[in-house]
Amino acid sequence: MKKIALVISLLILGCSHSTAPNSTLRTPITLPIETIESNGYIIDQSLKDNKIDLLEKAIDSIISKTQVIGVSAAVGIPNKGLWYAARGITGNSSITKITPDLKFCAGSICKIFTAVVVLSLVDEGRLHLESSIDKWLPEMRQSAHITINHLLTHTSGIASFDSVEEYEANKHLYRNPQEVLSYLKNKNLLFEPGKHFAYSNIGYLMLGLIIEKVTGKSYEEAVRQYIIHKINLRETDVMTAQNLKYLIVKGHHNGKILAETKDYTIPFASGSIISSPRDLVHFLQALMNGKLLSRISLSKMFLDMNLMTKTQSTYYGKGIVVATNTPIGDIIGHRGGIKGFGAALYYHHKKNLFICVMMNDDTKSPDPAVFRLMEIMLEL
């Protein structure tokens, strides 16, 4: 467990507001798609496994030891079934107990969704990865030198908020994606596009605006068309001002329910997905078995993945992360964090195993829970 705890810090990337650029872009890695694609389909039947009791006990232990407000989790094995469970309370006076069907804020797991929509448009010939963004966002600085690929891979040099404090102090100024972009008017690029890696939520927000301009639809409608309806997700949506009031599970910070939720929609295409763990497990497995993208576009997600930190073997592709050489092997997915919530979604490709954990408490990390469930399934 100590070794695994060391890895937890790798699996970063919630809706954080700043990341310093690496000093250089080290040699990227490519994961050949034939080595990581998922066979079979996750079927809607209970997972029949002698480890179910251990999984149930693990969730009980997690909520007991961490004192997290609420947790929901799912484990999926293609062609074998799905296990899911939920514990804790919603913070909602009308529906107090968390059940597995309830939606949580997924934070930056949304970036996988955005990348899938962008690459779907590439499949259709409506977008090209090397196209500059000046066609859609001419008002942005150096937009002629920034490409769709730069935005997807966080190598654009576009500044995100310098700190959480800066964002919190100014969030009242940003009521929609266009107003968030106004933040960049007085900001220079952090570096020449393509030269470094620096995580940028605003870069993915810009991808959402480009999706809207290319499709003539809202980002919400595009996600439904290219993902939700395509694979029949029943507990997933894009959070908007209209449906925010129907979010039953409430976010918590330091044990207190967060009263202000209107800024949940501000992250837009960088962090506005709401979902359940079992839906997210279905989503990631559908992606990895080729149900959402062509094989060529799926391969591009894992092409030339850049090192995220100097000291760890964690790499970022197009909307997706791989952590290599962890104590449980290589894992693929994304972590998400937004005020009041935390989430983690990962795929162990050598075992064809999918796990998601979501919490309605931003002071507790979902990563230890994911690793504990993986330990059980891998018999570590």
Ordered domains of the chain (ranges, CATH): 2-378 (3.40.710.10)
Contact 246, 274 (CB under 8 A): no
CA distance 72 to 259: 22
Q: Which of 324, 310, 303, 301 shows the shortest CA–CA distance to 25?
A: 310
Decide if pLDDT at 185 tops 80: no
Q: What integer is the mean pLDDT of 254-282?
A: 89
- Calpha distance 359→340 (Å, rounded): 8
Mean pLDDT of 2-22: 43
- The helix or strand, by DSSP H or E, that contains position 323, with its residue range, turns out to be strand 321-326
pLDDT band with cut points at 50, 70 and 90 for residue 13: very low
pLDDT band at 167 (very low <50, low <70, confident <90, very high): low
Is the pLDDT confidence value at 1 over 60? no
4 Cβ contact list (under 8 Å, min separation 6):
326, 327, 328, 368, 371, 375
In sequence order, the β-bridge partners of residue 315 are 307, 322
Provide the b/e sequence for 175-202 (b: ≥16 CB within 10 Å).
eebeebbebbeeeebbbebbebbbbbbb
Alpha-carbon span 379 to 307, nearest angstrom: 30
Quote the pLDDT of residue 19: 52
Residue 211 has pLDDT above 50, yes or no: yes
In the predicted structure, residue 338 carries a pLDDT above the cut 80:
yes
- Which pLDDT does position 180 carry in this prediction? 82
- The predicted model gives 344-368 an average pLDDT of 96
Structure-model confidence comparison of residues 40 and 178, the more confident one: 40
Whether the pLDDT of residue 365 is over 70: the answer is: yes
Inform me whether the pLDDT recorded for 197 exceeds 90: yes
**Tokens representing 329?**
């092997």
Average pLDDT on 47-67 reads 91
The residues, ordered by sequence, that sit 6+ positions from 108 with a Cβ below 8 Å of its Cβ are 13, 14, 15, 16, 201, 270, 271, 334, 335, 336, 337, 338
Strand, coil or helix: 32? coil
Other beta carbons within 10 Å of 364? 19
Amino acid 317: pLDDT: 97
What are the C-alpha distances in Å from 201 to residues 162, 166, 300? 12, 14, 21
Rounded CA gap, 189 and 209, in Å? Answer: 19
Q: What is the pLDDT of residue 238?
A: 96
3-class secondary-structure state, position 258: coil
Q: How far is CA 348 from CA 110, 279, 327, in A?
A: 20, 17, 12
Pairwise CA distance, residues 131 & 144, whole Å = 9
Supply the DSSP symbol for 222.
H
Query: Which residues, at least 6 apart from 135, have a Cβ–Cβ distance to it below 8 Å?
Result: none
Q: Looking at residue 108, what DSSP letter applies?
A: G
Residue 278 · residue 286 · CB < 8 Å: no
Is the pLDDT at 175 greater than 80, yes or no? no
Please, are residues 55 and 370 in contact by the beta-carbon 8 Å criterion?
A: no
Going by C-alpha positions, the residue among 144, 267, 135, 142 that lies closest to residue 200 is 267
Calculate Rg over the CA atoms of the chain: 19
What's the confidence (pLDDT) of residue 47?
Answer: 84
User: Is the entire prediction scored with pTM above 0.95?
Assistant: no
Average pLDDT for residues 241-267, to the nearest whole number?
85
Sign of CA dihedral 55, 57, 59, 62: negative
Closest C-alpha among 181, 236, 235 to residue 208 = 181
